[in-house]
């Protein structure tokens, strides 16, 4: 992992700690890289898109997803159990009346298994500090102009849960297959900074 | 996940139940905390149990306390920032919260 840090100060510190752990026999050389690769393997926004597409075609699945997302995503072959312990997943659904958007104000918590590594803007101080105060303004900067009557719920991933937004199904898509619908879903749509 | 379902069944034994109004701690702790500064000393409503975990503040100091309820707590933006018509839902450990008596 020590070759993958933007900050040289952090890189040096991580390299030092890694070397100490290896010297004491607590860590095999390269073990961290292997673990990170395992954790990231298969993590892609296509997973989140599959969940959304299933929800769009199956109302029963949507109900189960909103009630217990960890159990429901197993129906499409996905899991939040890839890390040291299973993380709780909370799925929040956009409606005509209400829009959801996700942030981690304290760091950059993100459902990596379902969305892959997070985009740089999600980790930026600007996004993290501003979207809780002025989500309507920040979403407008993303190009999402919500009607004045649409309420906005911001979800701050400040503890152990991870969040996924269930976007509204686009109009004019009644004939599309589940696979074609999944192709319409974007990463921003799954975070809540865009509609689909 | 299954552990959450078990704990949800025991939620009535906890200090709070969903719908309760709570106030967050207003102090600035010396070490790590997961109570964001913007949500300090604010009144919100418990939405839903978000599982049980040892307090992150303790874990960051190497202590392993008992797992305690973690709640989705919803705040009106106007109560946090003095402006805004949106809500902000934060996940907070029970230790951060005190009950607010209804007037």
Chain B residues with beta carbon closer than 8 angstroms to that of A90: 50, 72
A11 has catalytic annotation? no
Which site among A149, A153, A159 would you substitute to test the B interface, given the most B Cβ atoms closer than 10 Å to its Cβ?
A159
Q: Flag if B36 and A158 touch (Cβ within 8 Å).
A: yes
Domain assignments of chain A as residue spans, ordered by start: 8-40, 45-191
Read off the pLDDT of each residue in A42-67 and give the average, rounded to a whole number.
96
Which CATH code fits A45-191? 3.90.330.10
With a cut of 70, list the residues of chain B below it in pLDDT.
1-13, 102-103
A104 has catalytic annotation? yes
Helices (H), A73-170: 112-115, 120-123, 125-130, 135-141
**CA nearest to A163, candidates A120, A124, A122, A121:** A122
Angstrom distance (rounded) from CA A93 to CA A87? 19
Six-digit token string for A179: 């696979």
A118 has catalytic annotation? no
Q: What is the mean pLDDT of chain A?
A: 92
**CA nearest to A183, candidates A71, A170, A164, A193:** A170
Domain assignments of chain B as residue spans, ordered by start: 2-99
State the pLDDT at residue B4: 44
Class of the CATH domain delimited by B2-99: mainly beta
Query: Of residues A2, A11, A79, A108, which has the active-site annotation?
Result: A108
Are the C-beta atoms of residues B92 and A159 closer than 8 Å to each other? yes
ipTM of the complex: 0.87
Q: Flag if B50 and A90 touch (Cβ within 8 Å).
A: yes
pLDDT grade for A35, boundaries at 50, 70 and 90: confident
């Amino acid at each position: 992992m020590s070759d993958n840090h933007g900050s040289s100060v952090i890189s040096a510190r991580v390299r030092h700690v890694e070397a100490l752990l290896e010297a004491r026999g607590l860590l095999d050389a390269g073990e961290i890289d292997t673990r990170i690769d395992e954790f990231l393997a298969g993590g892609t926004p296509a997973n989140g898109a599959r969940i959304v597409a299933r929800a769009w075609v199956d109302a029963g699945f949507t109900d189960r997803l909103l009630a217990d997302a960890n159990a429901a995503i197993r129906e499409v072959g996905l899991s939040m159990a890839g890390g040291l312990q299973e993380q709780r997943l909370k799925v929040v659904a956009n409606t005509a009346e209400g829009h959801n958007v996700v942030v981690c104000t304290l760091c950059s918590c993100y459902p990596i298994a379902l969305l892959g590594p997070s985009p740089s803007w999600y980790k930026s101080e600007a996004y993290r500090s501003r979207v809780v105060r002025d989500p309507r303004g920040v979403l407008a900067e993303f190009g999402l102009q919500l009607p004045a009557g649409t309420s906005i719920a911001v979800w701050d991933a400040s503890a152990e849960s991870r969040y996924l937004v269930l976007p509204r199904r686009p109009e004019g898509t009644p004939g599309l297959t589940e696979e074609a619908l999944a192709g319409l879903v974007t990463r921003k749509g799954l975070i809540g900074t865009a509609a689909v | 996940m299954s552990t959450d379902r078990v704990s949800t069944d025991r939620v009535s034994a906890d200090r709070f139940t969903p719908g309760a109004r709570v106030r967050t701690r207003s102090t600035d702790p010396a070490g790590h905390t997961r109570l964001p500064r913007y949500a300090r000393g604010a009144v919100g409503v418990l939405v839903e149990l978000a599982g049980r975990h040892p307090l992150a503040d303790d874990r960051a100091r190497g202590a392993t306390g008992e797992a305690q309820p973690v709640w989705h707590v919803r705040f009106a933006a106007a109560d946090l920032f003095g402006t805004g018509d949106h809500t902000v839902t934060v996940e907070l450990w029970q230790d951060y919260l005190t009950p607010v008596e209804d007037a």
